[in-house]
Structure 1
């Protein structure tokens, strides 16, 4: 049996400072997610590709681009990549690091488990997805 993964203390701190998630959810996210550093100019997700994960910005700025045009800028605490997962569709925009960023990557299995077991997180993701589609 594999040892249980521990919550990354730096991720816990960033999520606690920049989100309104409760302590239990913060710890769960920091346990199931993977913190990733992404250099300036790199694409985190590409428009019209299949979705396998969503992300929470821990630090830095992410530009959301549709057809090459920046339509939004996201910062610490913001979630992106969730729309395609929630709607089981292709990505409808690209996400590009405006400067070096640190994000928490939540794989499809982690998202599915969180959506099933945490109503507040599920409601938050659906609200983000709904607000951005309109």
Structure 2
């Protein structure tokens, strides 16, 4: 847990009935089973590429606090309760991050595109990510006497 995972969605709309009615998936959303504090579990994906009837989507860019590990969706998260304005923020790339306290297991997430074409078709995908190990597993709580 505490690590990010990336993926891409490539959606292609094709209408065999009438080529005069092309369509393209203009937007996509992901519904995750977990989100770091201050983030919503439902996120818009970023459109990376648009060619003819094919659209490519990726998770939007995330940023991490170097000290606390909190995840933000902005390089300057001034509205967040979890950023003191002093901590260094590092680029986390186009990934979705599991919170540090996420328990081991297989988690399912869903992606759905906005409707496209004359028939208003959506692409609905279900994927899984497996989390093994928690950042806190390696810590041992004990008293230290000087």
TM-score (norm 2): 0.25
Q: Which has the higher helix share?
A: 1
Q: Which has the higher strand share?
A: 2
Instruction: Kindly name which structure, 1 or 2, has the bigger radius of gyration based on alpha carbons.
Output: 2
TM-score (norm 1): 0.26
